[in-house]
Amino acid sequence: MRAIRVASAALLTATALTLTVPPASATVRGDETNNNITSFGFRVTPSTIAAGGQVTLSVDGCEGDTKVTSGIFDDAHIPKGQSSTTAQVFWDAKPGAMYEVTFDCKGETGKTDLTIATGRPDGNNNHQNQHQNPVNKGVKAGIGGSLGGLDLHEIALGGALILGTLATAYYKTRRRTGENHS
């Protein structure tokens, strides 16, 4: 009879521990989640820019023309034999938003992100291109994750839940053992 109680407590403990462990895929962070593997290299510099700023679009190893598209600047073209071009970010870009930039080299595409910082590059909120009405392709959303930023408080709370489960299982096992020998 005691073996059944111990097995039940062990099963309860194992279940509690299994449910509190994050999945292995949730531990991947930052650039490791970018499964964007192409036969050519590409980048946007800087990766964070203020609205109205100028970015450099670079490509390495593309044997043809490269088309670069995004909802935050006009389509750009990098001719064969060149490795970069520049693009001006729209003045009405939303501060803090993240936009997807797509590089297309002979039908093969690669994507990276461009984040819009707060403020203006010239510091005086000069709206030079306010007459320009660009087509808004939208903001890239859904980047984050529920396990992206565990802090000390959340880790302590999870540890307390595990400890409480183990203590309850131990208490129930010890109490039942004592009741049978009375």
Report residue 73's pLDDT band, with 50, 70 and 90 as the boundaries. very high
Query: Nearest-CA neighbor of 139 among 90, 180, 177?
Result: 90
CA distance 62 to 81: 9
Query: Nearest-CA neighbor of 91 among 132, 56, 55, 135?
Result: 132
Domain assignments of the chain as residue spans, ordered by start: 1-22+147-182, 33-146
Q: Would you say residue 68 has pLDDT above 90?
A: yes
Q: Does domain 33-146 have CATH number 3.90.650.10?
A: no
Beta bridge partners of 67: 77, 104
H helix count then E strand count, the chain: 2, 8
Find the mean pLDDT for residues 139-151.
59
Does the reported pTM lie above 0.75? no
Query: Nearest-CA neighbor of 116 among 51, 179, 68, 70?
Result: 51
What are 48-59's pLDDT values in tens digits?
988 888 999 999
Q: Would you say residue 125 has pLDDT above 60?
A: no
What are 131-143's pLDDT values in tens digits?
445 555 666 665 5
Q: Do the Cβ atoms of 70 and 101 come closer than 8 Å?
A: yes
Write out the two tokens for 93: 């870009």
What is the predicted pLDDT for the residue at 59? Answer: 92
Q: Which residue has the higher pLDDT, 130 or 44?
A: 44
Task: Give backbone dihedrals phi and psi of 3, rounded to 5 degrees, phi first.
Answer: -65, -35
Specify the range with the lowest mean pLDDT, choosing from 7-21, 86-100, 125-139.
125-139
Say whether 160 sits in a helix, a strand or coil.
helix
